[in-house]
Amino acid sequence: MIDVSKYMQVNSMKPNDPPKAYGRPQVRKVMTFEQFVSHLADHNTTYSRGTFKGVVSDACKCVVEQLLAGNKIMFGELGEFWLSISCNPAKDLESFTASNITSVNIVFTPGPDFENLIDKADFNFVVSRKAQDAIMKAMISGARTLDLTALMSKTTAEFVANQAVNAENGDEEDGGDTSTDPTDGGTTPTGGGSDNGGGDNGGGDDPDDVSLG
């Protein structure tokens, strides 16, 4: 099940068009290499976690070795690996030397099992990580309501700080206008818009207050 949060975004190529709703996947958990090889070992196999760890580690070393030898590797269902280079141009062929090459990059093309998982995926729509964090911190600070309009127009840090001050002073959150940099699942969209869970993009005269208990 893939958690997806909805947000409004302006198309950077068409800045005058109204914002539209998009979805962004959330990462539930970062699986370490040790956890992954343990998962492999638990899949009804006679091979131990250490065996899988050694095989995968050796495979990575061999992939790099073969790529640096100028080979392209067909890795079965996983995909294909080969190299590309980035370089600074020279004025002519004679002037181009190894010093013009700035980086050597590994290119990976997914195999058939990884090309597009849409037919295997299930989706669960959830609020954004920013909203989840703000709700939790507001509850811890003692706030009784959460201003969704303010959340859409402020960064999490500023919003939570204001909520904490307002909870202490008994004041209402002011709905100031500060641009946001929405990040959810590691992707920062270009252009305007806030990661607001698919609600109205922008402020209003009547902010929506959500009770926290």
**Of 42-46, 81-85, 89-93, 171-175, which gets the smallest average pLDDT?**
171-175
Report residue 202's pLDDT band, with 50, 70 and 90 as the boundaries.
very low
Residue 7: its pLDDT value, please?
Answer: 80
pLDDT in tens, 68-83: 999 999 988 889 999 9
Mean pLDDT across 17-45: 83
CA max distance for the chain: 74
Q: Answer whether residue 175 shows pLDDT above 80.
A: no
- pLDDT reported for residue 38: 86
User: What pLDDT was estimated at residue 167?
Assistant: 54
Question: What is the distance between the alpha carbons of residues 152 and 203, in angstroms, rounded to a whole number?
Answer: 8
pLDDT band, very low/low/confident/very high, at 1 (cuts 50, 70, 90)? confident
Per-residue pLDDT at 56 exceeds 50:
yes
pLDDT at 77: 85
Distance, in Å, from the CA atom of 187 to the CA atom of 24, rounded to the nearest integer, reads 8
Selection from 208, 153, 192, 179 nearest residue 22 by Cα: 192
CA Rg value for the chain: 24
Task: Map tokens 């507001």 to a residue.
Answer: 138
When the pLDDT of each residue in the chain is averaged and rounded to a whole number, the result is: 74
Q: Tell me what pLDDT residue 165 has.
A: 54
Query: Which position has the higher pLDDT, 107 or 120?
Result: 107
pLDDT band at 150 (very low <50, low <70, confident <90, very high): low
The two tokens of residue 124 are 């669960």
Cα–chain center distance at 39: 23
pLDDT score of 161: 56
pLDDT at 170: 52
Supply 177's token pair.
């206008």
Dihedral angle sign, alpha carbons of residues 184, 190, 194, 198 = negative
Helix (H, G, I), strand (E, B) or coil at 83: strand
